[in-house]
């Protein structure tokens, strides 16, 4: 038995541009997720990581929604993302570039009011040079590698950095930060190791606020929070911690049309290469989940 184009509500509403499905983004749920995290972090604050177009949800609409909920700190990965986002935000919001200071963009970055996360002495020097050229102080964040080996000042650059900070007053350090590698695994020893290293760094670079937690880190407890946490995936409804029920509200849902259903007996081969063989009589649906999918905000 087989039927074609079941009267699914998507097929009616998805007439938009020939779409066969709807990706719905629940901005109200996004806002509630932000408030939940912000409440857990108080008196510290919650930033929002909106890199990769806010994990695909649209950086501009996400940032606007979170701005309305009081978020003032937005992190992107690349300078070009910051250039697009910065003009859409309130003047008292700050946009930070996680990947650091891209060579050749220093003056543009400074003039656009975009704040680089400096990850090496070489980046620090270029930002300081730009400050000199512009004859003003430029704001920055310093990121330290505490064991992930991805971005940030490596341990062997710390002494020279401390010296440079002592000599140089044209780079204003807003806060220092590091990134957790295994925060979604509550029992992973790497969390405590990274925290211990962050504490050593805080002892070496005294007087600076600390930003440490990503989504998982928010759920590791107050020791990990610092003054400004940087959640990403949890805002968008992703699970911050593995192995336990997800405390966040879903933000994204995908409705796609069922284009055909059939009931097959046991032993029926399903899909390319007979990827599945049924073990009993089974009702199957073929869905139209390929592009184009229209996008709807609510
Ligand atoms: C991506 C990223 C985050 C956000 O991580 P989530 O696990 O999505 O919360 C925070 N900080 C840095 C440095 C990142 O690169």
63-106 pLDDT, tens per residue? Answer: 999 999 999 999 999 999 999 999 999 999 999 999 999 999 99
Domain boundaries, given as residue ranges, for the chain = 7-22+252-297, 27-236
The partner residues of 282 in beta bridges, in order of sequence, read 264
- Residue 228 Cα to ligand 1 middle (Å): 12
pLDDT of residue 8: 45
pLDDT digits (tens, 9 = 90+) for 173-229: 999 999 999 999 999 999 999 999 999 999 999 999 999 999 999 999 999 999 999
Neighbour count for residue 130 (Cβ, 10 Å): 22
Second-level CATH architecture of 27-236: Alpha-Beta Barrel (3.20)
**Cα 217 to Cα 209: distance, rounded to the nearest angstrom:** 17
pLDDT digits (tens, 9 = 90+) for 136-170: 999 999 999 999 999 999 999 999 999 999 986 79
The answer, yes or no, to whether any atom of ligand 1 lies below 6 A from the CB of 214, is yes
Q: How confident is the model at residue 256 (pLDDT cuts 50, 70, 90)?
A: confident
**Cα 156 to Cα 274: distance, rounded to the nearest angstrom:** 55
Instruction: Supply the residue whose CA is at minimum distance from atom 3 of ligand 1.
Output: 214
Query: pLDDT exceeding 90 applies to what percent of the chain?
Result: 85
Instruction: Supply the residue whose CA is at minimum distance from atom 6 of ligand 1.
Output: 232
Please measure the distance between the N-terminal and C-terminal CA atoms of the chain and give it in whole angstroms.
38
pLDDT of residue 292: 56
**Cα 128 to Cα 137: distance, rounded to the nearest angstrom:** 8
Per-residue HEC secondary structure of 127-155 comes to: HHHHHHHHCCCEEEEEEECCCCCCCCECH
The answer, yes or no, to whether any atom of ligand 1 lies below 6 A from the CB of 230, is yes
The answer, yes or no, to whether any atom of ligand 1 lies below 6 A from the CB of 179, is yes
Query: Catalytic residue at 51?
Result: yes
- Pick from 287, 268, 263: nearest CA to 278: 268
List phi, psi (to 5°) of 136.
-155, 170
Question: Tokens 């937690």 map to which residue?
Answer: 213
Q: What would the mean pLDDT of 8-17 be, rounded to a whole number?
A: 51
10: DSSP letter:
H
pLDDT of residue 289: 79
22, 34, 51, 124: the catalytic one is 51
Atom of ligand 1 nearest to the CA of 55: 8
Tokens matching residue 95: 């946009």
Atom of ligand 1 nearest to the CA of 214: 9
Report helix, strand or coil for 260.
strand
Instruction: Supply the residue whose CA is at minimum distance from atom 14 of ligand 1.
Output: 179
- Give Cα 35 distance to the centre of its chain: 16
Question: For residue 283, is pLDDT > 70?
Answer: yes
- Give Cα 278 distance to the centre of its chain: 40
Question: For residue 291, is pLDDT > 80?
Answer: no
Helix (H) or strand (E) holding 38: helix 27-41
pLDDT of residue 16: 64
The answer, yes or no, to whether any atom of ligand 1 lies below 6 A from the CB of 46, is no
Atom of ligand 1 nearest to the CA of 51: 1
The pTM assigned to this predicted structure is 0.89
């Amino acid at each position: 038995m087989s039927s074609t184009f079941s009267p699914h509500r998507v097929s009616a509403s998805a007439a938009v541009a020939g779409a066969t499905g709807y990706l719905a983004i629940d901005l109200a749920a996004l806002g509630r997720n932000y408030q939940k995290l912000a409440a857990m972090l108080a008196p510290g604050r919650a930033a929002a990581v909106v890199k990769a177009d806010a994990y695909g949800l649209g950086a501009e609409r996400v940032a606007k929604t979170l701005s309305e909920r009081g978020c003032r700190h937005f992190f992107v990965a690349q300078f070009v993302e910051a250039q697009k986002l910065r003009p859409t935000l309130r003047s008292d919001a700050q946009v930070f570039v996680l990947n650091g200071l891209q060579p050749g963009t220093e003056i543009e970055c400074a003039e656009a009011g975009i704040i680089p996360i400096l990850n090496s002495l070489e980046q620090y020097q270029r930002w300081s040079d730009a400050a000199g050229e512009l004859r003003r102080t430029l704001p920055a964040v310093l990121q330290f590698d505490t064991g992930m080996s991805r971005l940030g000042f490596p341990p062997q650059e710390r002494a020279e950095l401390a010296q440079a900070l002592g000599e140089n007053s044209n780079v204003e350090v807003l806060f220092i930060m590091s990134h957790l590698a295994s925060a979604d695994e509550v029992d992973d020893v790497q969390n405590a190791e990274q925290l211990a290293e962050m504490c050593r760094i805080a002892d070496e670079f005294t007087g600076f606020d600390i930003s440490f937690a990503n989504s998982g880190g928010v759920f590791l407890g107050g020791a990990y929070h610092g003054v400004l946490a940087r959640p990403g995936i949890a805002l968008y409804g992703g699970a911050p911690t593995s192995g336990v029920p997800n405390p966040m509200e879903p933000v994204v849902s995908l409705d796609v049309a069922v284009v055909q259903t059939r009931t097959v007996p046991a032993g029926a081969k399903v899909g390319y290469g007979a990827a599945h063989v049924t073990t009993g009589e089974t009702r199957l649906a073929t869905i139209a989940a390929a592009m184009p999918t229209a996008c709807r905000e609510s």
